[in-house]
């Protein structure tokens, strides 16, 4: 996605430019005061969508954290492309290492290609997961992960990395709106 197309998408979500920086721009939704950082045109932090900013009780925050954690675990343990893709919104923007998926369709193509070569998941573990509740309909998840799989050629691959996702509640379900993951293959 070109920078100008990404800016159009951000502005369509109701955000306005607050200031230019050397390597990033700050956008904000004037209605919700939610901010986002646009770094070199590809990585988003925060959300400019219209969400209610309400004060939540500790019990409500704990409930949201539990629901979002369950959604993240379900996502990591998805056994097929359709299940994995059901965890994303239609407006998802994802980054995987240096590859950018600016649309759901682009991400879907990559996810389907992965599951086409997947024979078996041998290990899928979240480590050091932190969930920051933004409001009643949004939460930010950061985690380290370990993942081992066997492909259709019976080759095993061990991965470990870091993962950040902005989850939003959509029709009662927690979905990934923005995702960034960086990982490396571990040599044996």
Q: Report the CATH number of the 52-89+116-185 domain.
A: 3.10.450.50
pLDDT for 164: 93
For position 186, what pLDDT does the model report? 79
* Beta carbons within 8 Å of 81's beta carbon, 6+ residues apart: 108, 111, 112, 114, 115, 116
Single out the residue of 28, 6, 4, 3 nearest to residue 103, CA to CA: 6
Single pTM value for the model: 0.71
Is 91 in contact with 44 (CB distance < 8 Å)?
Answer: no
In 3-state terms, what secondary structure has residue 33?
coil
Average pLDDT over the chain, rounded to an integer: 83
pLDDT value of position 97: 85
What is the spatial distance between Cα 179 and Cα 73, in angstroms, rounded to a whole number?
15
| Contact of 51 with 32, CB cutoff 8 Å | yes
At residue 90's C-alpha, the angle toward residues 86 and 92, to 5°, is 95
**pLDDT on residue 35:** 59
Segments making up each domain of the chain, as ranges: 52-89+116-185
Per-residue pLDDT reduced to its tens digit, 127-163: 889 999 988 999 999 999 999 999 999 999 999 999 9
Q: Are 166 and 176 in contact (CB under 8 A)?
A: yes
Is the distance from CB of 55 to CB of 61 less than 8 angstroms? no
Q: Which residues of the chain have pLDDT under 70?
A: 1-3, 21-24, 31-54, 187-188
Q: Residue 97 has which token pair?
A: 């290492």
């Amino acid at each position: 996605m070109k920078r100008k197309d990404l800016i159009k998408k951000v502005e369509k979500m109701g955000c306005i430019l607050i200031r230019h920086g050397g390597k990033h721009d700050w956008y904000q939704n004037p209605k919700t005061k939610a901010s986002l950082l646009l770094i070199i045109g590809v990585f988003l932090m925060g959300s400019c969508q219209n969400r209610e900013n309400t004060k939540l009780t500790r019990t409500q925050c704990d409930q949201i954290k539990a629901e979002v954690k369950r959604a993240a675990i379900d996502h990591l343990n998805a056994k097929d492309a359709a299940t994995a893709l059901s965890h994303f919104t239609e407006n998802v923007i994802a980054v995987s290492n240096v590859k950018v998926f600016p649309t759901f369709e682009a991400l879907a193509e990559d996810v389907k290609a992965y599951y086409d070569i997947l024979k078996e998941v041998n290990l899928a573990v979240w480590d050091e997961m932190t969930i920051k509740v933004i409001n009643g309909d949004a939460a930010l998840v950061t985690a380290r992960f370990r993942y081992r799989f066997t492909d259709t050629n019976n080759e095993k691959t061990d991965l470990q990395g870091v993962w950040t996702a902005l989850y939003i509640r959509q029709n009662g379900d927690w979905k990934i709106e923005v995702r960034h993951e960086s990982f490396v293959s571990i040599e044996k």
